[in-house]
Structure 1
Amino acid sequence: MPSYTPPLRDMQFVIHELLGGVDELKKIPAYGDLDADTVNAVLEEGGKFASEVLAPLNLVGDVEGCTLNKETHEVTTPKGFKEAYKQYTENGWSALSADPEWGGQGLPLLVNQAIYEMLNSANQAWTMYPGLSHGAHACLEAHGSAEQKAMYLPKLTSGEWTGTMCLTEPHCGTDLGLLRTKAEPQADGTYKLTGAKIFISAGEHDMADNIVHLVLARLPDAPAGSKGISLFAVPKFLVNADGSLGARNGIYCGGLEHKMGIHGNATAQMVLEDAVGTLVGQPHRGLPAMFVMMNGARLGVGNQSLGLTQVAYENAVNYAKDRVQMRALSGPKRPDLAADPIIVHPDVRKMLLTARAYAEGARALVYYVAIELDKAHNHPDEAVRKESDDIVALLTPIVKAFITDNAWISTVHCQQVYGGHGFIHEWGMEQFVRDARINMIYEGTNTIQSLDLLGRKVLGDAGAKLTKFGKVVGRFVKENADNEAMQEFTKPLADLGQKVQAFTMEIGMKGMQNPDEVGAAAVDYLRVVGHMVYAYFFARMAQIALEKQATGDAFYKAKLATARFYFAKLMPEVETLMITAKAGLKPLTEMEEALF
């Protein structure tokens, strides 16, 4: 059975030493009393819940899955899931970063994201139940009416109710402009919704008293396409004027998807038959409102893959230190044993270090974006809010796509470390691989994220957002220009920054002549920019490690070694990516469709 030990030392390093998180967030009045001891204490307690309560349920949830009663349409979650959720809400974890106005504890999003990293490592399928509620909460807080906020936000904050996002339909996934679910206005100001949704994570379950579905649908006078979509709050149980639960609403689970991974989460086919809902925001403006939840979900999915990369790495390292097979090519390293532990073999080390580097790079990026998101929402200086909002917009598709792609690479590597045992369920590795695969697909496939980055976030504003981040990188390089020990990191970082500028311009010029050139280059482009972002964070981490290596703390020695591995073995991928991206559209279109 796999184990999980929260990487508290590295989490604290990123928050306090790399990002100066507490000092940065204390500039926001709501966090004026924040201190490092509080942050550390919360992380320690969250780590205990993740490792002691959730992690033991991960294999159980994968084996049992969820069960649908087709007569009542009720779903039973795996053994222990409901009890763990009760403990989660009673201990206040659901309210951690919510506004005190709605009963929340008002801690920064950074702390919540760090907690969720650990929950995802321990049990991604379980964590999706409360995780989706954060997005529903944010959407209603931003676009809900006063009545909707009063009705739903306190219950979502406490965790008594959970939330979902109901977008996808059988005939349309990414292309939401094709959706058919209808919403008919009623005399009392409500709407009756009819239609079908699929792939609804946590769409039905037995863990909370009510489920608040945020549903995209069309009004009778809606124009065609995505500009004709409205958003509705549709509860599982209707809510009475006094806040108590009323009759069962006309939205129910018609079936559960039988999936490759995340078996413990109920991925539901939802049927709406005159389901009563209320309009969220303005008519025909549902998609912009839902994007609050979708963008939050994209950051959450990146965090899911960070969690899986970390837990897979931990278990693979433990196995590699214990499993003995063959001797090192340079001679025995453990002559007292019949063979050497496999961690002595170079390729095993490469696989382990790949996972370690991708976990540490992802942690730095996820936490950085969390701080910037808090600044974008809450900083008193409007200019700071705008700057942070641009950075978040640029980095969101990278968080979603780059981290999830790397998690797939990493979990497969970690499974490979186990050899044949990696295919055996009780070791846990094959489940990490299966669970990681969905993260590249949902909340917008990674191709969609790549098109978003290149087409909208970069070319869409003539590179303004990318230039802002480039200036951050440039300042760091300039500040370390005279630091000889840093040249092994700053020189390749500066070189990549210059190449990204020229690369972007070349792809942009091709795209002006033929937009399909953007589609041909986008996936490779995102990985190039993703590596530039990671290289920046690894260079910063290396700088700290170099300054503190004289302390003799092995942590800094390991951090420096990981940074050097990243620059030597992973970052050079950008050279191939730029070549393949520049090869353009022609190799993809030369073959006629009939010849496929």
Structure 2
Amino acid sequence: MTALNDIGFLLNNVLQAPAQWQALPAFADTDADLALQVLDEASKFVASQVAPLQRVGDEVGCTFDAGKVTTPPGFKAAYQAFWQAGWPSLSCAVEDGGQGLPAVLEGVLYELLAGANHGWTMAPGLLHGAYACLKQHASPALKEQYLPKIASGEWLATMCLTEAHAGSDLGLVRSRGTPQADGSVHVNGSKIFISGGEHDLTDNIVHLVLARLPDAPAGPKGLSLFLVPKILPDGSRNAVVCERIEEKMGLHGSPTCVLRFDDATGWLVGAPHQGLNAMFVMMNAARLHVGLQGIGLLDAAWQKAHTYAQERRQMRAPKATPSGGPDPIAEHPAIRRILDTQRAWIDGGRLLAYHTALQLDVAQHHPDAGQRATAQRWCALVTPVLKAAFTDQAFAGASACLQVFGGHGYIREWGIEQIVRDARVAMIYEGTNEIQAIDLLLRKVLADGGLAMRTLLAELPGDARRDALIETTAALVLAAKADAELPYWLADDYLRAVALVLLDWAWGRISAASSDARWTAPAQAFHTWVLPEFDMRLAIMRQRLPRTFIKNKPLAQVLPALSAID
């Protein structure tokens, strides 16, 4: 099966996406035929225009000269073809020049793009987040000036958060915005790690910059968001300077810039001191796409490893009939285990990501308020899981796929080592995976006493692991009252446990929809080689819960004792 056939099966046969679209007035005209036509054209564009630039992007990379950045050969032409064909506007509103299609189709597009050429895909990767941020928070004047260009992709956008001393702790940001008499703001400060901060792909770049107004309180609650374009409305160059581009482990086709703002002209987006609220709209949109990046990168690594394993012959496989000749290494159990295990992550991850993208549209467009709330709960809880678990697996799984090649995988000829290098950054940007775990457990689960998570888990089919996770969630809520540091120690384990329970649900759905041999091997691999990790994570969490209360008792017996903690 091709990737497109797999994607179509998951969307149409497992998730019944067309029926879900029909329940939303905004997508009543979207059916399976239209969706597959869009994805077929997307696949053709990716294969013909973007994938061939993968190697040149890595080997030539971006060049920097006196503040100007030149992208690798072919990148600019491919990007011009991309936006002129309408691909960035798939899910943007029709009134903004978009095509008004479901979010999942855009998600699949970016999954395909990331797998084909992660470095190139970094350029348009923030467009949807910038679009959502401006649509929700920008003034009518800013929307009129910038939203159509962002929706179409004619102009690209950046997210300028990080400073040398302020990474995950945005409360330390020092950049300043000084109001001017004409309603604009002069922005001063430096930002680092800015993907696409300067390039030659588009005529303009729209920077969304976190900074402080003069009367701002200290900490993250004092941050405001400003729109600072590279080119001002009168056609003059704004005072935004690219000081250098970073030399990186991977993603050589994407310029990672240090930007300096020297009284650069900008405009406030949203309310003063409410910049994080506006920026989180952009970041949350990006996090689902980063999870899909992980799935796309892992699938690209798997495709290379699978092809190589079919062609490479070494020794005789244990079950081979005596033939006197070596067998394809795909017949050897060690290689089958690697390939089937990564396939289990890819297929299960796709189902979870596509379901989440469908829920984004339900949360925004469903006529029933209860359905919207349920969908929003799913998205809030599952998005950090997708971002963290599947970017972790993209790197670990791509490394496992490199192992299939043996020594050949370590050299550039086969292209697998580039995927390993490129995949590593996805565990770091858009909030490190540790931050995702803290966000899930501290801000999403403990904040409401575990109610939302327990409700979500209760809606999944019941089994021992799901019930154990429900009990563990309740135990953590109660134990955290006695030890505020405890959840920080266990956040990573908790997120992994949630990911495994969700994957178990996903594979249950896939297996119920088809008994085809295509899905049998990864389903078996999931239950044999992946799901047992849940018991390890559960044991780690139980070990760190207060020994006075748990000893070696089942958690169901522990909860009454824990509930006595104030």
Common topology (TM > 0.5): yes
Q: Measure, in 2, the Cα distance between the counterparts of 1:256 and 1:365.
A: 35
Q: Measure, in 2, the Cα distance between the counterparts of 1:259 and 1:192.
A: 31
Q: Is the 8 A contact 1:391 1:468 kept in 2?
A: no
Residue 585 of structure 1, CA deviation: 8.5
Q: Does 1:393 align with 2:380?
A: yes
Give CA-to-partner distance per residue, 1:82-126, whole Å, 9 cap, x none.
010111112111111111111111111111111111111111111
Q: Measure, in 1, the Cα distance between the counterparts of 2:33 and 2:361.
A: 20
Q: Measure, in 2, the Cα distance between the counterparts of 1:385 and 1:519.
A: 31
Residue 342 of structure 1, CA deviation: 0.8
Three-state SS of the structure 2 residue aligned to 1:129 is coil
Gapped runs of 5+ residues in structure 2?
Answer: 548-566
Three-state SS of the structure 2 residue aligned to 1:163 is strand
- Please name the residue that 1:550 is paired with: none
Q: Measure, in 1, the Cα distance between the counterparts of 2:143 and 2:18.
A: 30
Q: Does 1:463 align with 2:440?
A: no
Q: Measure, in 1, the Cα distance between the counterparts of 2:225 and 2:113.
A: 30
1:559 to 519, 529, 539: 519
Q: Is the 8 A contact 1:109 1:370 kept in 2?
A: yes
Q: Does 1:197 align with 2:191?
A: yes
Residue 347 of structure 1, CA deviation: 1.2
Residue 367 of structure 1, CA deviation: 0.5
Q: Is the 8 A contact 1:6 1:51 kept in 2?
A: no
Three-state SS of the structure 1 residue aligned to 2:259 is strand
Q: Measure, in 1, the Cα distance between the counterparts of 2:405 and 2:282.
A: 38
Q: Is the 8 A contact 1:193 1:277 kept in 2?
A: yes
Q: Is the 8 A contact 2:126 2:286 kept in 1?
A: yes
Residue 239 of structure 1, CA deviation: 1.3
Residue 561 of structure 1, CA deviation: 2.7
- Please name the residue that 1:292 is paired with: 281
Q: Does 1:221 align with 2:215?
A: yes
- Please name the residue that 1:487 is paired with: none
Q: Is the 8 A contact 1:59 1:426 kept in 2?
A: no
Residues 515-526 of structure 1 aligned to structure 2 (within 5 Å): 515-526=484-495
Q: Is the 8 A contact 1:97 1:112 kept in 2?
A: yes
Residues 401-412 of structure 1 aligned to structure 2 (within 5 Å): 401-412=388-399
- Please name the residue that 1:578 is paired with: 538
Q: Is the 8 A contact 1:28 1:375 kept in 2?
A: yes
1:306 to 284, 295, 299: 295
- Please name the residue that 2:270 is paired with: 281
1:19 to 15, 21, 44: 15
Range 48-57 or range 166-175, more displaced: 48-57
Q: Does 1:41 align with 2:37?
A: yes
Q: Measure, in 2, the Cα distance between the counterparts of 1:213 and 1:386.
A: 32
1:273 corresponds to which letter in structure 2?
D
Range 182-191 or range 404-413, more displaced: 404-413
1:421 to 383, 400, 408: 408
Residue 468 of structure 1, CA deviation: 2.7
Aligned residue-pair number: 547
Residues 20-169 of structure 1 aligned to structure 2 (within 5 Å): 20-70=16-66, 73-169=67-163
Residue 330 of structure 1, CA deviation: 4.2
Q: Is the 8 A contact 1:168 1:199 kept in 2?
A: yes
Three-state SS of the structure 1 residue aligned to 2:124 is helix
Q: Does 1:329 align with 2:323?
A: no
Residue 383 of structure 1, CA deviation: 1.8
Q: Measure, in 2, the Cα distance between the counterparts of 1:452 and 1:201.
A: 23
- Please name the residue that 2:3 is paired with: 7
Q: Measure, in 1, the Cα distance between the counterparts of 2:161 and 2:2.
A: 34
Change (3 A) 1:469 1:355: same
- Please name the residue that 1:243 is paired with: none
Residue 15 of structure 1, CA deviation: 0.8
Three-state SS of the structure 2 residue aligned to 1:79 is coil
Q: Measure, in 2, the Cα distance between the counterparts of 1:153 and 1:198.
A: 25
Residue 583 of structure 1, CA deviation: 2.8
Q: Is the 8 A contact 1:332 1:340 kept in 2?
A: no
Q: Measure, in 2, the Cα distance between the counterparts of 1:15 and 1:352.
A: 23
Q: Is the 8 A contact 2:208 2:226 kept in 1?
A: yes
Three-state SS of the structure 2 residue aligned to 1:238 is coil
Three-state SS of the structure 2 residue aligned to 1:101 is helix
Q: Is the 8 A contact 2:86 2:152 kept in 1?
A: yes
2:376 corresponds to which letter in structure 1?
D
TM-score, normalization: structure 1? 0.90
Range 291-300 or range 456-465, more displaced: 456-465
Residues 228-247 of structure 1 aligned to structure 2 (within 5 Å): 228-240=222-234, 246-247=235-236
- Please name the residue that 1:383 is paired with: 370
Three-state SS of the structure 2 residue aligned to 1:234 is strand
Percentage of pairs with the same residue: 46
Q: Is the 8 A contact 1:6 1:118 kept in 2?
A: no
Three-state SS of the structure 2 residue aligned to 1:325 is coil
Q: Is the 8 A contact 2:21 2:31 kept in 1?
A: no
Q: Is the 8 A contact 2:160 2:194 kept in 1?
A: yes
1:531 corresponds to which letter in structure 2?
L
Q: Measure, in 1, the Cα distance between the counterparts of 2:263 and 2:40.
A: 47
Residue 586 of structure 1, CA deviation: 10
Give CA-to-partner distance per residue, 1:124-172, whole Å, 9 cap, x none.
1111111111111110001011011111111112211011100000011
1:455 corresponds to which letter in structure 2?
L
Range 307-316 or range 24-33, more displaced: 24-33
Residue 268 of structure 1, CA deviation: 0.7
Change (3 A) 1:503 1:93: same
Three-state SS of the structure 2 residue aligned to 1:444 is coil
Change (3 A) 1:328 1:560: closer
- Please name the residue that 1:436 is paired with: 423
Q: Is the 8 A contact 1:358 1:407 kept in 2?
A: no
Q: Is the 8 A contact 2:119 2:252 kept in 1?
A: yes
- Please name the residue that 1:188 is paired with: 182
Q: Is the 8 A contact 1:236 1:252 kept in 2?
A: no
Q: Measure, in 2, the Cα distance between the counterparts of 1:526 and 1:539.
A: 20
- Please name the residue that 1:272 is paired with: 261
1:508 corresponds to which letter in structure 2?
V
Change (3 A) 1:6 1:223: farther
Q: Does 1:536 align with 2:505?
A: yes
Give CA-to-partner distance per residue, 1:26-84, whole Å, 9 cap, x none.
211111111111100111110011112111101110111111112xx111001110010
Q: Is the 8 A contact 2:170 2:220 kept in 1?
A: yes
1:400 corresponds to which letter in structure 2?
K
Gapped runs of 5+ residues in structure 1?
Answer: 241-245, 478-493, 547-555, 588-596
Change (3 A) 1:585 1:427: farther
Q: Measure, in 2, the Cα distance between the counterparts of 1:507 and 1:434.
A: 36
- Please name the residue that 1:262 is paired with: 251
1:345 corresponds to which letter in structure 2?
H
Q: Measure, in 2, the Cα distance between the counterparts of 1:237 and 1:473.
A: 50
Change (3 A) 1:215 1:286: same
Q: Measure, in 2, the Cα distance between the counterparts of 1:382 and 1:180.
A: 41
